[in-house]
């Protein structure tokens, strides 16, 4: 039953991803927001089921809960205590449902972002036999993979927080400061370090990934990455988009080289 639900969520995510460009042509901001809620919910559901299938249920749920707990808390606190000119008073005082939906949605994004980077970089570093070197390579690589996505998504997320844009106001470009990226880079680094230590200590690091599940996750990551790249280009984050393309090109090459090496071994 779990496998059936996961397969349905996977195909739902892919179909939703394919239909996305057609939705963008005619949809207004609110319709796009609903589309992304459905899109992210399908992806989030798949990733959660993937984690509790590949790991013991309690391990998968612990990873999900920690990621959501950390990101939700940071985003909720930042929205409540924001004293910058970016978030208007109308945004801060909007109804509680929408006020809490944004941090929860960001939590969904981060579960997908962190989990996909974790699984793929865990696979990449399997051929490294020295435990300490493997851990360092995993944390650095997974952090860079997650951060490259965050670079592209941050401008869109910050505009979604603006109630005026949701009401048809102008999109604000180039509003993300370097301190925001540095802060999230530290959070991402700590999350991947926690996952590494937690999975190793629970003796689940060397669990083999199911072939079908790995292929599905790679396609999920591809669709998610293409959307992130599209949003980054829309937000005129050209340098971040270039870095993202270069990094993921190198990552893809290293991934397939590592797969060939593991087959030979």
Domains: count for the chain: 1
Classify 84 as helix, strand or coil: coil
User: Contact at 8 Å (CB) between 253 and 44?
Assistant: no
DSSP reduced 3-state for 169: coil
> How far is the CA of 245 from the CAs of 1, 121, 153, 213, in angstroms?
37, 17, 14, 25
Pairwise CA distance, residues 63 & 197, whole Å: 11
Residue at 108 is within a domain: yes
Strands (E), 12-132: none
Q: What is the pLDDT of residues 207-251, one digit of tens each?
A: 776 666 778 888 888 888 888 888 888 777 788 888 888 888 887
Output the average pLDDT for the chain. Answer: 79
Residue 89 within any structural domain of the chain: yes
Domain region containing 99: 30-264
Backbone angles phi, psi at 33, to 5 degrees: -65, -45
Q: How far apart are CA 238 and CA 222, in angstroms?
A: 19
Whether 23 maps to a domain, the answer reads: no
Distance, CA of 160 to CA of 30 (rounded, Å)? 10
Query: pTM value?
Result: 0.83
Q: Which residue has the tokens 């008073």?
A: 89
* Residues 6+ away with beta carbon under 8 Å from 168: 28, 29
Asked if the structure places residue 9 within a domain, the reply is no
Tokens 């059936």 identify what position? 4
Tell me whether residue 253 is in a domain.
yes
162 neighbors 92 (Cβ within 8 angstroms):
no
pLDDT (tens digit, 9 = 90+) per residue, 161-213?
665 555 555 666 555 677 777 888 899 999 999 999 999 988 888 777 666 67
10 in any annotated domain: no
In a domain, 116, yes or no: yes
Is 149 domain-assigned?
Answer: yes
CB 244 within 8 A of CB 221: no
% the chain with pLDDT above 70: 77
Q: Phi, psi (5° rounding) for residue 192?
A: -70, -35
């Amino acid at each position: 039953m779990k496998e059936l639900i996961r397969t349905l969520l996977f195909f739902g995510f892919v179909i939703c991803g394919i239909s996305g460009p057609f939705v963008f042509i005619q949809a207004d901001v609110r319709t796009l927001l609903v589309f992304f809620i459905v899109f992210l919910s399908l992806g989030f559901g798949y990733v959660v089921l993937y984690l509790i299938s590949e790991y013991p249920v309690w391990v998968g749920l612990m990873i999900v809960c920690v990621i959501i707990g950390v990101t939700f808390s940071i985003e909720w606190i930042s929205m409540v205590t924001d004293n910058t000119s970016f978030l208007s008073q109308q945004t801060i005082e909007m109804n509680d449902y929408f006020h809490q939906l944004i941090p929860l949605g960001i939590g969904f994004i981060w579960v997908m972002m962190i989990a996909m980077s974790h699984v793929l970089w865990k696979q990449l570093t399997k051929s490294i036999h020295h435990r300490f070197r493997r851990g360092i390579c995993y944390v650095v690589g997974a952090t860079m993979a997650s951060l490259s996505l965050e670079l592209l998504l941050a401008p869109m997320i910050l505009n979604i927080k603006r109630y005026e844009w949701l009401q048809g106001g102008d999109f604000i470009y180039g509003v993300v400061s370097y301190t925001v990226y540095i802060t999230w880079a530290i959070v991402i680094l700590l999350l991947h370090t926690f996952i590494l230590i937690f999975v190793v200590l629970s003796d689940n690091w060397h669990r083999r990934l199911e072939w079908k599940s790995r292929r599905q996750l790679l396609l999920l990551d591809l669709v998610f990455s293409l959307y992130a790249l599209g949003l980054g280009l829309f937000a005129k984050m050209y340098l971040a988009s270039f870095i993202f393309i270069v990094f993921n090109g190198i990552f893809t090459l290293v991934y397939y080289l590592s797969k060939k090496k593991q087959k030979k071994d």
